[in-house]
Structure 1
């Protein structure tokens, strides 16, 4: 029995399996749609669509690095049980390595060829959903490059090399010693992991974020009952403190709280041109609303029930 491209698409719509898997299923079953569905189910591939609606708020952060660039990715699953699965960890590791050869955007990573196979990342993950038994997704990806310096990385509480729940990249431009620069940039990455800056500099803080804080400070100051000119000075002082606490270069350096990150960079002996040019901080699941599950429900979910 022959089949068409429309048949392949119809099978994919019904099962959620990748296009190449659907084509192979039809080939193996002489174009018989029902037999092809059974074939995919037997392979564990057709489970993917049934799990795609589940909230994936657990997972791992993966990092991969090259000479002057590095990427950080967040790959999510439903439970921490799956995140500890070696097969899942291999996927995160391979996704990060794949991302290193792209511009770092999620779309570019999803459509890039997965290592060692004919499928792209998106289809490989769809297939893995069936075997691992949980919804999975590449949620975020970012890349930093610094041709005139270094890009350092840090993974907090790593579960394996370059895999953990929190990952940071820091790019540092300098004409100074690259080994010293990498060591200092890693310290800054550890600082970013601990303090979670809003932006690199005060000017980089989004206007809407600053305005929201200012409106709160104004209301708080008004409750004091003081005159408007005093309130204005109170708000100005609180906003200065907000910028100092929120912008990376103005924060007290965790390695030496007596100086700011900006001053620590000047003191690092990396040259007058040394400059932190960017940072990225990914924490697994941040911003995802997750339904509260009891332990029994989490075990059941991990068992694929």
Structure 2
């Protein structure tokens, strides 16, 4: 019988095996899905099906600026930190970053459909091969891409944190701002700001922060009796502190805490005779927000001796 693309896609979704191997399995099994799965298992290819269900919360956050000047930061997850340090895995992540830089995929699914460097196969198919070769679940989680301006990458602790800083530079050679960009990236890695600038904080967040501060004063006998105008002034002062803690440009510069990041950038620009504006940044901490499965060791041992 004729093997359709839909049949191949269905088998691929069921097993996680690459498209070409799925097509071979269906051809060998005359289109029978169950027999095709059995064929893949016999070949050792469907072994990755189990792996694909395991939590991938380790891995690498990697940042790079490609030859075309495009900056990319990407997170790719594995099950263990051991695999994250594997040279094959790290080379795979670097290749993915270059695909993002050169092909500009809209999202992770679009990235998976891109052609993997040096092959005529898709990123998704090569990922499936890596799962088999490395022996762990691998997941491409997210990426960010900056095509304009000057981009500076920073990788902390071998990929535990990846940062990409995007700057607009006028009247200064790009090479002269690399050190500044790295300092700002290190600031972002260490301080994890939620916003670039205080103007980026949404009104709902500000209202909630004001509500919290007013509630704290209401519960403090010494503060509760103060006039509302005084309370409002205190709240505004505390909002300033909130900006200093959560907004990159208002944070104290880690290398010289007597000045803010914003003022430091302006001072460097002045020294170099031009203008520098930090336009955006992305910070990925590997595995953040992924719920790691807590294995019950006793239950696992019990299940093995039944």
Distance 1:221 1:126, change over 3 A: farther
Q: What is the CA-CA distance between 1:31 and the residue it aligns to?
A: 5.0
**Which aligned pairs between 1:1-305 and structure 2 lie closer than 5 A?**
3-27=3-27, 33=33, 36-66=36-66, 67-103=68-104, 105-147=107-149, 150-158=150-158, 164-174=159-169, 175-225=171-221, 226=224, 227=226, 228-268=228-268, 269-293=271-295
Please list the CA deviations of residues 94-152 of structure 1 after superposition, one character each: whole Å capped at 9, or x if unmatched: 111211113353233222111222322223223322332322211110012334xx211
Question: What's the CA shift string for 1:206-259, capped at 9, x where partnerless?
Answer: 334333333222221221132333322221111111112211111111121111
Give structure 1 regions of 4+ aligned residues with deviation exceeding 6 angstroms: 294-298
Contact in 1 for aligned 2:266/2:275 (Cα 8 Å): no
Structure 1, gaps ≥5 residues long = 159-163, 299-305
Change (3 A) 1:214 1:79: farther
The structure-2 alpha-carbon separation of the partners of 1:200 and 1:92, relative to structure 1 and needing over 3 Å to count, comes to same
Closer, same or farther: CA 24–276 of 1 in aligned 2, 3 Å: same
Greater CA deviation, 273-282 or 46-55? 46-55
2:231 partner SS: helix
Write the distance in 1 (CA, Å) between the matches of 2:45 and 2:211.
52
Greater radius of gyration (CA): 2
TM-score where L is the length of structure 2 = 0.84
How has the CA–CA distance of structure 1 residues 39 and 215 changed in structure 2, closer, same or farther, with 3 Å as cutoff?
same
Go from structure 1 to structure 2 and tell me whether the alpha carbon gap of 1:53 and 1:210 turns closer, same or farther (over 3 Å shift). farther
Q: 5+ unaligned residues in a row in structure 2: which ranges?
A: 301-306
Count of residues in Structure 1 that have an aligned counterpart in Structure 2 = 291
Give the distance between the partners of 2:241 and 2:98, measured in 1 at CA: 40
CA RMSD of aligned residues (A): 2.6
Asked if the contact 1:177/1:270 (under 8 Å) is kept, the reply is no
Q: Give the whole-Å Cα distance in 2 for the aligned partners of 1:141 and 1:5.
A: 29
Report the TM-score when normalising by structure 1: 0.85
Mapped partners of 2:75, 2:156: distance in 1:
14
